[in-house]
Structure 1
Amino acid sequence: MNTKVFSISAAAVSSVLAASAATADVSVSAELVHLGNTGGTTQSGDVATYRLYANMDAGWRVDAVYGNSESSLDISANGLFYQNAFGGDTSAGINPALIFAFPSLAYDSWVSIGLEDQTANAMNNIGIDFGAFNTAGSLATDNGSWFVTPDDIQGQEVDGRVLLGQFSVIGGSGVLTDDMAAMSVNLQGKDASGNTWTLIGGNALPAPGALALLGLAGVTARRRRK
């Protein structure tokens, strides 16, 4: 019975997110914040830790990160995500008081809106199965979301961006396109005037065509130097 209610609620969330919203001038990007040992024992040595951000104008905010039947959410590694025994699936499960005693907790993998730990963190999630996130290096959904309510201050941009998650790849090289197979999300929020916006299929990884062009540009530059 609980499973059926949960499924219906997740579908309702996806329906609400898809309705009455304008396309936004918002982008997503990933930033390498750590490359090396976690300061503790990991499953496989060093990690490459990335933080995923939504980039937007001053006064804008993110209320939800989601996947639905029209555009699924997919954050997947070329390998496994580092999952600390004292961590959590979301930043609401990260106790900052434990990081001093367990430094490796700082590199746990989790999803978020705006905050890196549980302090004043009101984020919720629905319809997200974190099983593969913890065991197979993949977080995907076509009927789920993590979200805050529009009056939660943590969704507000800070210096033009909002934190969406941290992802540590075991044995990562520090090259995003080598470490990550997918970083595609859908977002909904409000602009500075209170109008609802959406971003569909925001991708922190360069498209294959863009990678090919970058490679061609590198070859051309080398030829010119000769």
Structure 2
Amino acid sequence: MATITGLAGADRLRGTPGDDRVLGDPAGTLPGDPAGRLPEGGNLILALGGDDIVFAGYGRDTVQGGAGDDTISGAGFFPGPGQGGAFLARDDGADRLLGGDGADAIQGAGGDDTLDGGAGHDLLLGEWGADRLAGGDGDDVLVGGLGADRLEGGAGHDAFVFGFTAAPGAFGLDAGLGAARDTVLDFAQGQDRLRFEGIAPEAVSWDIRAGGVLVRITGFDGSQGEIWLRGVAGLGEADVFYA
């Protein structure tokens, strides 16, 4: 396994086609890219092929995984405060993306990914695959995407977003039926919210059942999906938002 370590300042680190261990430096200042896609400050790390382990450092880093089952941590190998960053999976591997402190934007891809925002106000995007999203502390936004996802907001006022997701060769509701449904593990009524995008209010209904609430949604194309709110005793209109 190759070990690649950044120096002081803002680095651009590129892994090898094999299994790498990439250590971002403590911090730096990276001018924003001309297209405005990368967070300003910190490192840019491209993992490439292999099953890689990436510690981003504690600047505002941008990390993109490649092929393989990658583990990407924004908490850093070096001690220091987190400033948030962007962590992206870009293949069909079962990736593990860990945000650490700070306001992070974490995006999975194909494969059954695990996304953990850690502390801070985070945005988690599962995309497609049966993903596990955990917001951690802070007011987080969790979007499971396609597949039977398990969502856990953690402490704070969290938003669980459902709508339509486009994936390679697929387009449909974020939630499926039966075993393919999404599950929200810790919805707190009066604190967290369900947010439906591109779905009309009349297309959403719910039933209170033993052990939770089953939410049913119907897409504009007639497709149907379900969301299981585990351990919830009820649900009101104030808990639901439409966009």
Same fold, TM-score > 0.5, yes or no: no
Higher relative contact order (CA closer than 8 Å, sequence separation 6+) = 1
TM-score of the two chains, using structure 2 as the length reference = 0.22
Q: Point out the structure with the larger helix share.
A: 1
